[in-house]
């Protein structure tokens, strides 16, 4: 942990530099979209955010499994930290999507499959954070949180089917599709650079947030010990 | 065989205990049935008497009534143990914890189905829908949906029983996780009420059945971690 904490500033610096390059490439250097014009540039933030959010929730799932297996609160610290950051990135995705949707589709919000799915994801993990806030004992919070994170993660593919059969309006994914990405190279490069930048930013936040959580654990444990003695 | 028989026997003991307590105290089912009737009554004020409009939103309303009533019952499913400080005794039950889970689940499904058995005909009468011709299809969807809703519901009820603000937390956690059940049940009910056969709602039934199977396997495993003290 200490070793990771020591390289945290370098991770943060790398994230800042790469994001600066990516945003320059995306917002200035890349050509405007043929149909949507300058508006489409919001994609360079929108798409990397949701990819990073999914990464964060995958980390929550793995850390939760590890916690239930090893019973080491350090894994739980990773899970709760990653969930918090994932919620923030999901929020950014919803916000930028709304801003993009208003001029393109004419509405801030529509019950399209992908939007709905992202909103469900948001509610599941906000619920996760609330559950943790309401559990008093850190070990109980960790166990309940881990169980909820595992159920929630398994729920995602089911939600996916349900929502897609229900309706679809969103443009299909331009990155993950059979036959390779459908984005022009001039747009793909800034997209990927930003994605790397946001993931590094996520890693930086994660390390810092885990440090905070460890400090919180130590304070709580100290308080419990003193309470028992007194 | 004997291992499965043992789990079944313990599950039955747990369910019978809950049903006996319920028969004597009648705290849960009475509240659920009255609440269900009340919800149907309130919908009428929310939507007005326009028959056509009501017919359009009927499947959604029906399921809202089912789910609100169901969550009321789920919230009480570990109340007896919590209020009387019997969680330790519950944990002392011999055998695997999954029998406790399946027993509680069976009770929850039973109480919810009882409420649904009242809501469905009442709904048909109050909102002038012909449900009788479609009854087998509706019953199948209701059962699949109820089991799915209760699998995660029973697990979360055990979890939230120990929390502050448990009444608020259960719906907050349960509704987002059961979106596939809600969506599948409402769409299937809609199609069945509009007269299409079960074949046309096959994909929704498969989704509901898949959800049920996945969480019938995962929730009992997760339950062990929830009950641990």
Cβ pair B176:A123 closer than 8 A: yes
pLDDT of res. A229: 60
What is the rounded CA–CA span in Å between residue B43 and residue A65? 43
Cβ pair A152:B210 closer than 8 A: no
Whether pLDDT at B1 is above 60: no
pLDDT of res. A196: 95
Cβ pair B183:A163 closer than 8 A: yes
**Residue that has been written with the tokens 């995962």 in this structure:** B218
Closest CA to A198 of A6, A25, A16: A16
What is the rounded CA–CA span in Å between residue B220 and residue B11? 12
What is the rounded CA–CA span in Å between residue B91 and residue B149? 24
Whether pLDDT at B176 is above 80: yes
pTM: 0.89
pLDDT in tens, A161-198: 888 887 754 556 666 665 666 677 778 888 999 999 99
| Under 8 Å between Cβ of B69 and B145 | no
pLDDT of res. A28: 85
Task: Decide if A135 touches B, using CB distance below 8 A.
Answer: yes
pLDDT of res. A230: 47
Cβ pair A147:B226 closer than 8 A: yes
Assembly ipTM = 0.89
**Residue that has been written with the tokens 């019978």 in this structure:** B16
**Within 10 Å of residue A10's Cβ, how many Cβ atoms?**
11
**How far is residue B109 from each of residues B67, B87, B93, B112, B212, measured CA to CA in Å?**
12, 21, 22, 5, 12
Q: Which residues of B touch A135 (CB under 8 A)?
A: 162-163
Cβ pair B165:A134 closer than 8 A: yes
pLDDT of res. A172: 62
What is the rounded CA–CA span in Å between residue B163 and residue B81? 14
What is the rounded CA–CA span in Å between residue B203 and residue B33? 32
A33: which strand partners? A37
For residues B128-137, one letter each, b for 16 or more C-beta atoms within 10 angstroms of the residue's C-beta and e for the rest, the string is: ebebeebeeb
Coil/strand/helix, residue B12: helix
Q: Is the dihedral of CA B141, B144, B145, B147 positive or negative?
A: positive
Return the number of CB contacts < 8 Å for A and B: 79
A37: which strand partners? A33
Cβ pair A127:B172 closer than 8 A: yes
pLDDT of res. A1: 60
* B165 or A1, which is more confident: B165
Whether pLDDT at B229 is above 80: no
Q: How far is B149 from chain A (nearest CA, A)?
A: 12
In the predicted model, what is the mean pLDDT of chain B? 89
Q: What Rg, from alpha-carbon coordinates, does chain A have?
A: 20
Token pair of A190, please?
């800034």
Coil/strand/helix, residue A106: coil
pLDDT of res. A173: 65
Q: How far is A58 from chain B (nearest CA, A)?
A: 17
pLDDT in tens, A74-116: 999 999 999 999 999 999 999 999 998 888 888 888 888 888 8
Delimit the domains of chain A by residue range.
2-171+188-224
């Amino acid at each position: 942990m200490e070793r990771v904490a020591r390289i945290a500033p370098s991770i943060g610096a790398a994230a800042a530099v790469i994001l600066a390059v990516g945003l320059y490439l995306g917002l200035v250097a890349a050509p405007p979209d043929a149909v949507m014009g300058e508006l489409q540039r919001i994609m360079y933030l929108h798409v990397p955010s949701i990819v990073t959010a999914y990464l964060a929730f995958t980390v929550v799932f793995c850390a939760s499994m590890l916690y239930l297996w090893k019973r080491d609160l350090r894994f739980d610290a990773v899970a709760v930290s990653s969930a918090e950051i994932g919620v923030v990135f999901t929020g950014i995705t919803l916000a930028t999507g709304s801003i993009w949707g208003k001029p393109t589709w004419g509405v801030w919000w529509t019950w399209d499959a992908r939007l709905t799915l992202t909103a469900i994801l948001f509610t599941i993990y906000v619920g996760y954070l609330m559950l943790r806030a309401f559990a008093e004992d850190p070990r109980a919070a960790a166990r309940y949180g881990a169980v909820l994170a595992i159920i929630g993660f398994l729920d995602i593919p089911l939600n996916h089917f349900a929502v897609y059969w229900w309706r679809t309006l969103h443009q299909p994914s331009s990155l993950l599709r059979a036959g390779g990405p459908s984005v022009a190279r001039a747009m793909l490069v800034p997209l990927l650079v930003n994605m790397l930048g946001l993931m590094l930013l996520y890693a930086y936040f994660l390390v810092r947030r885990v440090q905070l959580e460890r400090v919180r654990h130590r304070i709580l444990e100290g308080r419990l010990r003193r309470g028992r003695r007194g | 065989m004997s291992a499965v028989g043992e789990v079944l026997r313990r599950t039955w003991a747990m369910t019978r205990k809950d049903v006996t307590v319920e028969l004597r105290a009648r705290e849960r089912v009475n509240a659920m049935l009255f609440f269900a009737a009340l919800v149907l009554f309130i919908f009428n004020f929310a939507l007005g008497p326009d028959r056509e409009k009501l017919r359009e939103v009927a499947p959604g309303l029906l399921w809202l009534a089912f789910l609100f009533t169901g969550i009321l019952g789920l919230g009480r499913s570990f109340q007896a143990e919590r209020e009387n400080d019997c969680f330790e005794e519950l944990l002392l039950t011999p055998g695997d914890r999954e029998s406790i889970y399946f027993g509680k689940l069976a009770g929850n499904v039973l109480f919810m189905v009882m409420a649904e058995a009242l809501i469905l005909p009442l709904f048909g009468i109050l909102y002038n829908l012909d449900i009788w011709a479609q009854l087998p299809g509706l019953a199948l969807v209701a059962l699949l949906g109820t089991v799915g809703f209760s699998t995660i519901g029973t697990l979360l009820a055990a979890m939230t029983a120990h929390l502050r603000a448990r009444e608020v937390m259960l719906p907050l956690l349960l509704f987002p996780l059961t979106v596939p059940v809600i969506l599948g049940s409402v769409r299937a009910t809609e199609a069945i009420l509009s007269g299409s056969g079960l074949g046309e709602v096959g994909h929704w039934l498969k989704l509901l059945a898949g959800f049920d199977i996945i969480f019938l396997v995962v929730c009992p495993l997760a339950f062990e971690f929830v009950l641990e003290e």
